[in-house]
């Protein structure tokens, strides 16, 4: 486009003033405020300019376009999404949704003051750990416990407090990257602990640990492989054996469980996973795990183990920098109480993992019927989801989904991401799958509305060459 031509086109764009003082602008401003309206006007003008320069539109901003721009300005950047991926603990989607009891406590703590660090008996300063420690000890049979901001923080704190300036022995088969760039060796270096790698990628024996112990050794470390599994010619020393070696040589064992489940998940139909209580029973001196993976609570890092070592962590200056906040502490206490009272099925992550075929099929059938009623062609299919959050990477969760076969897959997926709330599904074999394991019964109607809206909005046929599988990648398997 020639410059003079372009300039004369751009002169057609309205000014911010013209938009905010139009009839539509004044009405919107009265309802939502002058400042958001001015931001919306600038956004709408920028959109119109882009269209003009692309040779589309006439440079005008309609009242509808202004209202849409205002809605976009007012929508929070962090918002609810409908997770139809079937990945229960999806790190990209905030991991575990909280139980109703935890949400209630969270709200109460957020709205007012709490006795976070105040002892109501004595009227003196108390500890934010006082409410959590007895629950954690009861649930894991550990002597002492400490909650911090997240598990990466728990590992960093434990390594720093026990091993700074000295050596820690860890198996080469356990030096994993957890996801989001969290690499175990990097964290260890950050703590000022020198890493002594033993064994090989696929085989590490107890003798390998034993041979590496010197007077510089401060601790032995075991790390859950989380998002990754080894099959075939492989071997790892059992945690109980490593703990026993530690006892003989006077060295503590730090066992980072990662996901850290509190209750046995086998009754949910999942592969057996070591619980935090198992790790304590196996003789680990300190056990660390996340609050928002299999546990199903808020973001938190939990350390349980021998009292004298937990006390060293508690007194370390890093502990103050990593401490758990009052909102997470409130939600964590409520979640732990559900475990203590045998009510863990009220925890959404546990309930979703426990959902069985017939229940999922009924929900998928409801979703299919609701979509059919909105004239969206789709079919019921059997599929499988994942636990996510780096937990149980080999576990396939048999599930039911509704499959859509749009002319253009990526434009539909993109339109679904823009809805309110956005919908994220799974792309497989030219189809969009909506896996209902991670969709609440109460969300089926809303999901069908959003999907129908997007379906009827996106042209059915691709321009030549379109409709390839692309875009909504779902990689919740790691953490
Ligand atoms: C997830 C994970 C972590 C990090 O936990 P966050 O709660 O995400 O900080 C550390 N170690 C292992 C083995 C993990 O799986």
Among 323, 346, 369, give the residue marking a domain's end: 346
* Position 140 confidence tier, pLDDT thresholds 50, 70, 90: very high
Residue 463 lies in a domain: no
Cβ of 297 closer than 6 Å to ligand 1, yes or no, is no
Contact 290 CB / ligand 1 (< 6 Å): yes
Other residues' Cβ atoms within 10 Å of the Cβ of residue 398: 13
- In terms of domains, do 192 and 262 share one? yes
* Ligand 1 contact via 259 beta carbon (within 6 Å): yes
For 401, list phi and psi in degrees, rounded to 5. -140, 165
Mutate which of 157, 236, 298, 390 for ligand 1 pocket (most atoms within 8 A of beta carbon): 390
Q: Is residue 473 part of a domain?
A: no
Q: Based on the domain organization, do 247 and 365 belong to the same domain?
A: no
Question: Same domain for 291 and 393?
Answer: no
CA–CA–CA angle 295, 296, 301 (5° rounding): 60
Q: Average pLDDT for residues 435-461, to the nearest whole number?
A: 93
Give the Cα separation of 174 and 197 in Å (integer). 9
> Taking Cα atoms as reference points, which of 80, 151, 111, 158 lies closest to residue 330?
111
Domain annotation covers residue 56: yes
- Residue 337: inside a domain, yes or no? yes
Give the domain range for residue 228.
Answer: 98-346
Is the residue at 472 inside a domain? no
Q: Would you tell me the crossing angle of helices 357-373 and 444-457 to the nearest 10 degrees?
A: 40
Distance from residue 264's CA to the centre of ligand 1 (Å): 19
Q: Mark which of 41, 74, 107 sits at the end of a domain.
A: 74
Q: How far is the CA of 92 from the centre of ligand 1 (A)?
A: 14
Task: Render pLDDT for 372-406 as a digit per residue (tens, 0 to 9).
Answer: 999 999 999 999 888 887 778 778 889 999 999 99
Q: How far is the CA of 290 from the centre of ligand 1 (A)?
A: 6
Determine whether 96 is exposed, middle or buried from the number of CB atoms within 10 Å of its CB (0-12, 13-18, 19+).
buried
Closest Cα to atom 5 of ligand 1? 151
Task: Considering only residues 1 and 43, tell me which one the structure prediction assigns the higher pLDDT.
Answer: 43
What CATH number is given to the structural domain containing 436? 3.90.1150.180
The whole-number pLDDT of residue 179 equals: 73
Residue 10, Cβ neighbours under 10 Å: how many? 13
Same domain, 214 and 293: yes
Residue 461 vs residue 389, higher pLDDT: 389
Considering only residues 147 and 187, tell me which one the structure prediction assigns the higher pLDDT: 147
β-pair partners for 290:
301
Q: Which of 422, 456, 449, 453 is nearest to 84 (CA)?
A: 422
User: Same domain, yes or no, for 306 and 199?
Assistant: yes
Structure tokens belonging to residue 458: 């996106």
Does residue 250 sit in the same domain as residue 136?
yes
Q: What is the dihedral of CA 261, 223, 318, 129, to 10 degrees?
A: 20
CA atoms within 13 A on the CB side of 17: 0
Residue 291 belongs to domain with CATH number: 3.40.640.10
Quick check: is 468 in a domain? no
pLDDT band at 1 (very low <50, low <70, confident <90, very high): low
Q: Are residues 379 and 252 in the same domain?
A: no
Based on the fold, state whether residues 310 and 181 are members of the same structural domain: yes
Q: Is the CB of 301 under 6 A from ligand 1?
A: yes
Taking the CA of residue 259 as reference, the ligand 1 atom at the shortest distance is 15
- 10 Å CB burial of residue 112 (0-12, 13-18, 19+) is exposed
Query: Do 34 and 179 lie in a common domain?
Result: no
163 lies in some domain: yes
* 3-class DSSP state of 253: strand
Domain stops at, among 346, 378, 401 = 346
Mean of per-residue pLDDT scores for the chain: 92
DSSP string computed for 143-203: SEEEEES-HHHHHHHHHHHHHTTSEEEEEGGG--B-STT-BHHHHHHHTTPEEEEES-SSB
Mean pLDDT of 254-262: 92
Distance 45 CA to ligand 1 centre (A): 45
From 155, 156, 182, mutation site for ligand 1 pocket: most ligand atoms within 8 A of C-beta = 182
Strands 167-171 and 301-305: unpaired
Q: Which two tokens stand for residue 144?
A: 């002492």
Say if 413 falls within a structural domain: yes
| Overall domain count for the chain | 3
Are 162 and 244 in the same domain? Answer: yes
Q: Are residues 41 and 121 in the same domain?
A: no
- Residue 158 neighbours by CB under 8 Å, 6+ apart: 254, 286, 288, 303, 313
Pocket of ligand 1, candidates 147, 152, 179: which has the most ligand atoms within 8 Å of its Cβ, to mutate? Answer: 152
Say if residue 211 is in the same domain as residue 231: yes
């Amino acid at each position: 486009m020639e410059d003079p031509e372009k300039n004369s086109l751009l002169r057609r764009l309205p000014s911010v003033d013209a938009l905010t003082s139009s009839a539509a602008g004044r009405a919107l401003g009265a309802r939502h405020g002058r400042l958001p309206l001015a931001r919306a006007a600038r956004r709408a003008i920028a959109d119109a300019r882009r269209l003009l320069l692309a040779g589309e539109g006439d440079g005008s901003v309609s009242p509808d376009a202004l209202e849409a721009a205002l809605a976009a300005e007012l929508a929070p950047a962090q918002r609810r999404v409908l997770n139809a991926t079937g990945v229960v603990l999806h790190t990209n989607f905030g991991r575990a949704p909280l139980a109703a009891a935890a949400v209630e406590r969270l709200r109460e703590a957020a709205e007012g003051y709490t006795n976070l660090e105040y002892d109501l008996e004595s009227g003196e300063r108390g500890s934010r750990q006082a409410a959590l420690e007895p629950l954690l000890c009861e649930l894991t049979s550990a002597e002492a416990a400490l909650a911090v901001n997240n598990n990466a923080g728990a590992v960093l704190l434990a390594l720093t407090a026990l091993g700074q300036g000295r050596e820690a022995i860890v198996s080469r088969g356990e030096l994993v990257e957890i996801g989001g760039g969290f690499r175990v060796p990097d964290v260890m270096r950050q703590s000022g602990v020198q890493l002594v790698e033993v064994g090989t990628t696929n085989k590490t024996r107890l003798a390998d640990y034993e041979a590496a112990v010197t007077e510089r050794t401060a601790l032995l470390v075991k790390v859950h492989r989380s998002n990754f599994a080894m099959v075939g010619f492989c071997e790892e020393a059992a945690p109980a054996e490593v703990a026993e070696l530690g006892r003989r040589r006077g060295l503590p064992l730090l066992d980072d469980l990662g996901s850290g489940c509190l209750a046995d998940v086998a009754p949910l139909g999942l592969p057996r996973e070591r619980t935090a209580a198992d790790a304590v029973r196996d003789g680990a001196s300190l056990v660390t795990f996340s609050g928002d993976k299999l546990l199903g609570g808020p973001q938190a890092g939990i350390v349980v183990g021998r009292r004298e070592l937990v006390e060293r962590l508690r007194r370390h200056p890093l502990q103050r920098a990593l401490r758990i906040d009052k909102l997470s502490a409130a939600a964590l206490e409520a979640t732990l109480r559900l475990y203590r009272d045998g009510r863990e099925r009220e925890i959404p992550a546990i309930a979703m993992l426990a959902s069985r075929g017939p229940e999922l099929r009924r929900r998928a059938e409801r979703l299919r019927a609701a979509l059919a009623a909105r004239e969206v062609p789709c079919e019921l299919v059997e599929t499988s989801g994942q636990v996510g959050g780096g937990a149980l990477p080999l576990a396939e969760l048999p599930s039911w989904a509704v499959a859509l076969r749009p002319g253009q897959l990526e434009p539909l997926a993109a339109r679904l991401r823009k809805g309110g709330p956005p919908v994220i599904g799974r792309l497989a074999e030219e189809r969009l799958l909506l896996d209902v394991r991670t969709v609440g019964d109460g969300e089926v109607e809303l999901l069908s509305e959003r999907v129908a809206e997007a379906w009827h909005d996106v042209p059915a046929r691709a321009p030549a060459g379109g409709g390839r599988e692309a875009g909504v990648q779902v990689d919740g398997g790691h953490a």
